[in-house]
Structure 1
Amino acid sequence: MEENRLTRVLPPVIALAAAAGVGLAFFIDALVRPPELPIDTNPAPLEGHTLCAAVVVTYASEEDMRAALPVLRDDPKARRVFVDPPSVDLLAVPGTDLKAWALQLHARYRTAERVTVIDSDATAAQLKLTAPPPKCPREGEY
């Protein structure tokens, strides 16, 4: 009789403990997860901003750059857009692979003279600097 009661009580207790564990995991994840970064793709002057993780699209002329701006602003991976004629500097939404995005942009926008990646963390790691620059914040600028 004792064994029968244990087999009736044990499965609901285990299920309750598992549900509590999953709930606790989601709660901790919500506390630890950094806040979402604001998205503002209205072009702003680059002056006064020091970017450390971005994609730079350079054009032959300011006219070519201005013609490409609406499409670059609408790219779903763009979080901020800075202009410094004749180039556009794009900060990405978190989780974007900058090198892959740069290749995509270069393939899509053939009017661009070049598409380069600014990644100070990767550059510092490659150069094995004795005093590396400060770690690039997730915002993409110092």
Structure 2
Amino acid sequence: MIVGVEENRLTRVLPPVIALALAAGAGLAFFVTALVRPPELPVDTNPAPLAGHTLCAAVVVTFSSEDDMTAAVPSFRADPKARRVFVDPPSVDLLAVPGTDLKAWALQLHARYRTAERVTVIDSDATAAQLKLTAPPPKCPREGEY
């Protein structure tokens, strides 16, 4: 004698419902992330004069001569971490793409450009801490300049 086993409807319906809920949750998370993420900053690595720009988060590479600086500028334009390149003989000021660790980038640039006299990081928060300012400086915008 064969006894019929009653199939539980819950075991048939539950897996597709869970899969649909997970897909909807992933889609919602992607949508919210797209709304919250700030817009991409424009990248323009054509060298521009520094005059008129006040940088608050940048890497400055200072060379011993204007000729050394001029020779290095094309490689700065091709650096994927560079977002803007400003020249002020004999130095190059570099704004980074968002998410770049300025200190690590400065170390890489120092190793790459042996003719550079000095590679420094401009960081308004660190500068304020060193100077022990009583009032904090204005917050540095994401663009890296005021």
Q: TM-score range with shorter-chain normalisation?
A: over 0.9
Q: Deviations over 1:13-70 (max 9, x none)?
A: 1111111011000000000001111110000000000000000000111111111111
The corresponding residue for 1:9 is 13
**Runs of 5+ in structure 1 lacking a partner?**
none
CA RMSD of aligned residues (A): 1.6
The corresponding residue for 1:121 is 125
Name the aligned partner's letter for residue 114 of structure 2.
R
Name the aligned partner's letter for residue 24 of structure 1.
L
Instruction: Please give the alpha-carbon distance, in whole angstroms, between the structure 2 residues aligned to 1:3 and 1:128.
Output: 74
Q: Give the alignment partner of residue 63 of structure 1, picking from 67, 73, 76.
A: 67
Q: Give the alignment partner of residue 72 of structure 1, picking from 67, 73, 76.
A: 76
Structure 2 vs 1, CA of residues 5 and 89 (structure 1 numbering), >3 Å: closer, same or farther?
Answer: same
Deviation, 1:130, is 2.8
The corresponding residue for 1:53 is 57
Instruction: Please give the alpha-carbon distance, in whole angstroms, between the structure 1 residues aligned to 2:130 and 2:42.
Output: 30
Q: TM-score, normalised by structure 2?
A: 0.91
Alignment of 1:1-142 (within 5 A): 4-125=8-129, 127=131, 129-142=133-146
User: Could you say which structure has the larger radius of gyration?
Assistant: 2
Instruction: Please give the alpha-carbon distance, in whole angstroms, between the structure 2 residues aligned to 1:3 and 1:50.
Output: 73
Structure 2 vs 1, CA of residues 3 and 120 (structure 1 numbering), >3 Å: closer, same or farther?
Answer: farther
Q: Deviations over 1:108-127 (max 9, x none)?
A: 10000000000112333455
Q: Match of 2:137, SS?
A: coil
Q: TM-score, normalised by structure 1?
A: 0.94
Paired-residue identity, %:
89
Name the aligned partner's letter for residue 84 of structure 1.
D
Name the aligned partner's letter for residue 98 of structure 1.
L
Name the aligned partner's letter for residue 22 of structure 2.
A
Structure 2 vs 1, CA of residues 14 and 71 (structure 1 numbering), >3 Å: closer, same or farther?
Answer: same
**Runs of 5+ in structure 2 lacking a partner?**
none
Instruction: Please give the alpha-carbon distance, in whole angstroms, between the structure 2 residues aligned to 1:65 and 1:141.
Output: 22
Higher mean C-alpha displacement, 42-51 vs 126-135: 126-135
Higher mean C-alpha displacement, 106-115 vs 120-129: 120-129
